[in-house]
Amino acid sequence: MNITLDSNPSDAPGCVKLIADDGRDMLVQLDYDWPAIASVFGWTPRHEPNEPSNFKGEAGEACCGSYRTDGTIACPECGKSASEFISEAREYLDDNDGSETEDPGYFDN
């Protein structure tokens, strides 16, 4: 089953909604959950192979590549804060509004 991202639901401003193919939906209200939801749609706190491999403290840059954070805690390697990760995850969700992906288990019976 696929899920669709509604990053700005009209019935829940400021939240994110996941909508299953069968019409069920799930409201995501906490910003702390945004990194996990964004990662389902392809976001990562780590750098991509062609990006710089170390974080220098500038907002919008990728993390150092450490696998020691999922975006909900500061990176213990480079110090990038959880709030920076959460903001970047929200920006990613907004940029990918309407995207579809396979349900990783949110709507399992």
User: Residue 10, class by beta-carbon neighbours within 10 Å (0-12 exposed, 13-18 middle, 19+ buried)?
Assistant: exposed
Which pTM does this prediction carry?
Answer: 0.79
Tens of pLDDT, residue by residue over 29-39, are 999 999 999 98
List, for residues 21-74, the tens digit of each pLDDT value.
999 999 999 999 999 999 899 988 765 444 444 444 444 455 566 666 777 878
